[in-house]
Amino acid sequence: MTATKIDGTAIAKTIRERISKEIADKQARNPRYKPGLVIIQVGDRSDSSTYVRMKLKAAEEANIVCNLEKYAEDISEIELLEKIDAFNNDPAVHGILVQLPVPGHINEYNVTSAVADTKDVDGFGGPNIGELAKKGGTPLFVPCTPKGVMVLLEESGIDVRGKNAVVLGRSDIVGAPVSYLLRNADATVTVCHSRTQGMEDILRRADIVVAAIGKERFVKGDWLKKGAVVIDVGTNYVPDDTKKSGQRLVGDVDYDAAVEVASYITPVPGGVGPMTVAMLLRNVVNAADSYFDRQKSRHITPLPLKLKSPVPSDIAISRAQHPKMITKVASEVGIAPHELEPFGAYKAKVSLDVLSRLSHRRNGRYILVAGITPTPLGEGKSTTTIGLTQALAGQLGRIAFANVRQPSQGPTFGIKGGAAGGGYSQVIPMDEFNLHLTGDIHAITAANNLLAAAIDTRMYHEATQKDGPLFRRLVPEKKGKRTFLPIMFKRLKKLGIDKTDPNELTEEEAKKFARLDIDPETITWRRVLDVNDRHLRGITIGQAPTENKVPPRETGFDISVASECMAVLALSTDLADMRDRLGKMVVASSRAGDPVTADDLGIGGALTALMKDAIKPNLMQTLEGTPVFVHAGPFANISIGNSSIIADRVALKLAGTEQDEDHNAKTGFVVTEAGFDFTMGGERFMNIKCRNSGLVPDVVVIVATARALKVHGGGPEIKPGEQLAEVYRTENVGVLREGCVNLAKHIQNARQYGVEVVVAVNRFETDTDAELEVIREEALKAGAADAIPANHWAEGGVGAVDLAKGVIRVAEQSQPERFKLLYGLEDSVQERIEAIAKRMYGAAAVDFSETARKKVEMYTKQGLGNLPICIAKTQYSLSHDPALKGAPEGFTVPIRDVRMAAGAGYLFALAADVQTIPGLPTAPGYLNVEVDCETGEVDGLF
């Protein structure tokens, strides 16, 4: 009998047509679905080039994006590995194929192993081969030729179960993987190689023969069992004068003799070869499918909590929970390995590359957590932010991020203590959260103080040099040529000088360029440090004998988080925007009344260099292992009191949905916190942060406590460290209901922006059901969509499940188009301040001091008057006066001063005497701090 020829060309053509249709169908559902393959070829071997052309042609026909990357024969192994790594990190590339063989100076194993497992469409990497060899293993990809062999057998209707299969050859490319596949398909497999004894006898007992030995016509017809199935994988060239090339391709089997014995046989060419290419395309499509599936299959596996009653201290709870590795936290929410920069085991920075990779995604839901006017004890706003997120992600299965500010070390070692939440709703590890974290505040401190040094240094040099020498030293001659540095063109442009050659400037132009002529009385830039030190609030500098050319001047220190550099970090949208903002920061005025900026000093680039890593948000986790972004910490009294726009943007994309997902069913949540009450952090979030970011919140959560509302209902003053009065420890519905006017005002304030409100009643164990019902009644009467008690402090995410469900329900009905800001920038400065004071605080009028009026006139004249407003005031009242509780009306807000934050992009008006560097109490927090010298653990922070 004559064997049936297994037509690999026809079978492969059918498979390629199926693949092409499959891709077209998927692209119709998701236009972004574009499987991508990169073929890497080193050198220009003619045999390799032939295979590459076949693959390129087949990929093009199947609508697979295929790029050939050709590198010179002498490329080093390190350079080649760098190229592969870049493709590993490219989301548009789903498969990487290194065309073998590679030049002798390159280690083939190193190169094939460098291809990411998820892109190893050749299946040659260790994990894929290892999984294939393991019984029950699940390789991501099977090598293309062995896979083609199995498909040929399947398509030909050949059942291999229980058959004797002999594989000639044990290469990692064909022989070994084919033997694993046959074994996994329940064949009895024998592998023969050059050292095998009695090979002919073994072959005569074989039901299936796979020849991959690389020797032309090695297997003779009389070596085969009658009716055997022969799969010839050989590719050998022999001379043939009838061919244009002078040679033809033959296999490892003597085809003419074998065809008379076998039942099925593959020809060479036209057998396994076309299948190899078809299987490559199949693997690329599978790789693309896996990539897109991973984008939609993000899932957070929560850490279980072991709740105790009574609730232990915060630090005891933190220590009792073992965090996930930060790499796992990142992986669960879809952050790629190359986008993560770990700082130790439990914290990391996240690259802004995430934003470009996920730019196509619809944002997740955006939730703002603010509060009512608090007591000095705090009402659990941070704890609620964490607890709500733990409920959303840990209990309800949504992707959810808590976005919080980085705490300053000043309060940590002073009065307030840590800021990681509390009880069973906190960020861990708490000590790392509250101390150095990843060094962002240190970077801001360095940048701020470099700018302070630059100001005084420039004044010194201008005072000690004449115009000509000053210009020549600023623009020195190097190698016989004087050139402007790139940053200098910013000042030239500001001065209206369009010359690019320093030698072409007139004496007057050179003087204008070189002499900033800073008026010392107008310098607003102060030095900073991240420590509470009241004795640095006012200092005199320039007293050393070496500085006697410039009179000493008075200045002072602020706490680092009060630096405008911190506000810039919080409000920047990307690195370029941060660079622009840092350069625009106004530090003083010239004697002529012109604003002097950081770029005038030529320092904007250096400031950006110091802060370029700080712009990346910091990833941590909650007690339940759900993700937290900790980024930026602008001082809440005089600045915006919010975490960064960038952290919110990154989290919203990571929590968002792909184009072919049901948004309501699958979307995640970003829960971001605003400092103090809604009239402070919340108002600035809306009018400054949202104005700048273009983002709109879906829901505002107002955190309330019965304790604080009783204060606003006439309860006695609460002082830290003192016993709470009886009214706060027992039921008193009357006082509570009176105090709900404060909650009502905050609800009304939030709803002015067109956003619905959910009230989170942070429940204390002394609260009664009757009191909680009063708060709910008053909240709904004031216009809240819902008011829900939560016990996340004592129960973690479980205690906030009802709150989370309420937030989801209201968020699904959000109408972003209803969002509106409180004022327009075309309004005058006074009109903007009055809008905030009257509509947010309940004031009847605003009274400007003479200093404030003159400052506003100067900013307007300088072209810096059309900026949003940040009013610095007390956090203990809706008004400027901490003694006015409840919802006062009819008062006048005094504006003592108006200051400029041109880089951050707002004016801040002072309605209270706010200390920008707090002092330490008699018994500061640092007294409690100690380090266990055996374990290295920090005790006493909380």
* Residues designated catalytic: 55, 99, 122
Count Cα neighbours of 657 within 13 Å in the Cβ-side half-sphere: 14
How would you write 796-845 as a 3-class SS string? HHHHHHHHHHHHHHHHCCCCHHHCCCCCCCCCCHHHHHHHHHHHHHCCCE
- Cis-peptide into 617, omega within 30 deg: no
Q: How many helices (H) and strands (E) in the chain?
A: 35, 38
- Helix extents (H) in 46-107: 46-61, 77-88
Task: Strands of 430-526 (E only): list them.
Answer: 477-478, 481-482
- Helix extents (H) in 242-337: 255-258, 272-296, 314-320, 326-332
Task: Assess contact for 355 and 594: CB atoms under 8 A.
Answer: no
What CA–CA distance (Å, rounded) separates 86 from 925? 48
Buried b (16+ CB within 10 A) or exposed e, 610-620: bbeebbbbbbb
Residue type, 311: V
Q: Is 557 exposed, middle or buried (0-12, 13-18, 19+ CB in 10 A)?
A: buried
Buried b (16+ CB within 10 A) or exposed e, 189-225: bbbbeeeeeebeebbeebbbbbbbbbebbbbebebbb
Residue among 38, 22, 19 nearest 30 (CA)? 22
Which DSSP string do the residues of 229-250 spell out, in sequence order?
EEEE---EEEE-TTSTTSEEEE
Task: Assess contact for 349 and 341: CB atoms under 8 A.
Answer: yes
Q: Supply φ then ψ for residue 337, to 5 degrees.
A: -55, -40
Buried b (16+ CB within 10 A) or exposed e, 656-665: bbbeebeeee
Within 10 angstroms of residue 435's Cβ, the number of other Cβ atoms is 16
What CA–CA distance (Å, rounded) separates 248 from 241? 9
SS3 content of the chain, % helix, strand, coil (to 5): 40, 15, 40
Residues facing 870 on adjacent strands: 908
Residue type, 842: G
**Tokens at residue 656, please?**
């968002």
Residue among 745, 649, 768, 761 nearest 701 (CA)? 761
What CA–CA distance (Å, rounded) separates 361 from 574? 18
CA dihedral 931, 937, 939, 942 (to 10 degrees): 140
Count Cα neighbours of 349 within 13 Å in the Cβ-side half-sphere: 16
Count Cα neighbours of 624 within 13 Å in the Cβ-side half-sphere: 33
**Tokens at residue 651, please?**
């989290």
Place of tokens 């402090």: 793
Residues facing 191 on adjacent strands: 167
DSSP conformation class of 640: -
Q: Are strands 348-350 and 340-342 parallel, antiparallel or unpaired?
A: antiparallel
Q: Supply φ then ψ for residue 285, to 5 degrees.
A: -65, -40
What CA–CA distance (Å, rounded) separates 108 from 131? 20
What CA–CA distance (Å, rounded) separates 364 from 642? 19
